[in-house]
Chain A
């Protein structure tokens, strides 16, 4: 009980990071701006910078990327949502403006081919390993290595004392 009573006044005296009262209009616009900036950054992060190699619009320092960020913020301010803004850029540039290719149609290959190659490679290795160790095993019973003709093979078998 005493601890709670002691905690309350301490909490009330803790300074806010922003000392403006929350009904101050400039506080409100700055907060809204900060939220819009954060949303704009999320969208910019999904777009490919058109003049760079593999950088997002958020990462790039090029002027076109800066302009695109301004367009995103403008459209957010006008009330558009993320889906609408992304469609706008796709409508102007094409699908490649989205950094991560959407897994539909031919784009599926981007995801399936590497996975497929890995599985295929692993499978091939497994088969080859089995074949290599199998060859070592069966060589002792049957052919004793490649290229021996029948006479030599018989002689070798006798020498090794096998059946």
Chain B
């Protein structure tokens, strides 16, 4: 009896170790949003300059939708990655769109004056779009395919690797639609 009991603790630890190991092989920046493979929530918002864009009019192109704020420190880090992305692919392939989260037009403009303004940014009054997309912090980015479906939600500052992997994959093939709910 004593001999068998000695094994219970190590054996019981195995499933917990299994869970930890499973966590190690997952990408910490990938967020399992329920929006994956679903149509990206529509928006029609005003740009910093006063024009307006809608998600609909970008249909047919891959969209990199980036939620950011001037008070967000990691957003500064990913700005250069996004700048590169904006020029790396032709406009008919990739559209980078920034959505300002919980910030003023003036602060956003000042941030861009400092770091560069190479793509379009829209304001999100009342954070309605942020709530639609389930944004719970910045920066968060959504890769949307040509058909308007969400391919991937990335949390944290984007890396170049993450951008190329996701954009190239969505350019090659759109997301298969989610099954019936």
Complex contact B131–A64 (CB within 8 A):
yes
Q: Which of B35, B41, B127, B137 contacts A67 (CB 8 A)?
A: B127
Contact B127 A64 (CB under 8 A): yes
- With A and B bound together, what is the CA distance between A71 and B135 in angstroms? 15
Bound Cα distance from A97 to B31, whole angstroms: 14
Which of B126, B131, B134 has a CB less than 8 Å from the CB of A94? B134
Judge if B46 is at the interface, Cβ distance under 8 Å: no
Q: Is B44 an interface residue (CB 8 A)?
A: no
Q: How far is the CB of B121 from chain A (nearest CB, A)?
A: 19
Is A51 part of the contact surface with B, judged by Cβ < 8 Å?
yes
> Given the complex, which residues of A lie within 8 Å of B136, measured CB to CB?
50-51, 64, 93
Number of interface residues of A (CB under 8 A): 15
Q: Determine the chain A residues whose CB is within 8 A of the CB of B128 once the complex forms.
A: 67, 71
- Considering the complex, give the chain B residue whose CB is closest to the CB of A48: B136
- The residues of B that contact A70 with a CB separation of less than 8 Å are 126
Q: Are A51 and B33 in contact (CB under 8 A)?
A: no
Q: Main SS of the interface on chain B?
A: loop
A68 and chain B: residue at smallest CB distance = B131
| Extra pairs beyond A67-B128, A70-B126 (20, CB < 8 Å) | A50-B135, A50-B137, A51-B136, A51-B137, A64-B131, A67-B127, A67-B131, A91-B35, A92-B34, A92-B35, A92-B41, A92-B132, A92-B134, A93-B33, A93-B34, A93-B134, A93-B136, A94-B32, A94-B33, A94-B134
Establish whether residues B127 and A63, one from each chain, have CB atoms under 8 Å apart when the complex forms. yes
Q: How far is the CA of A133 from the CA of B127 in the complex (A)?
A: 65
Q: Is B167 an interface residue (CB 8 A)?
A: no
**B127 contacts A94, C-beta separation under 8 Å:** no
State whether A91 touches B34 (Cβ < 8 A).
yes
18 contacts between A and B (CB under 8 A): A50-B134, A50-B137, A63-B102, A63-B127, A64-B102, A64-B127, A64-B131, A64-B136, A67-B128, A67-B130, A91-B35, A92-B41, A92-B131, A92-B133, A92-B134, A93-B33, A94-B32, A94-B33
What string of 1s and 0s marks CB contacts (under 8 Å) between B132-147 and chain A? 1111110000000000
User: How close is B151's CB to chain A, nearest CB, in angstroms?
Assistant: 17
- The yes or no answer to A90 lying at the interface (CB within 8 A) is yes
Cβ of A138 to closest chain B Cβ, rounded Å:
16
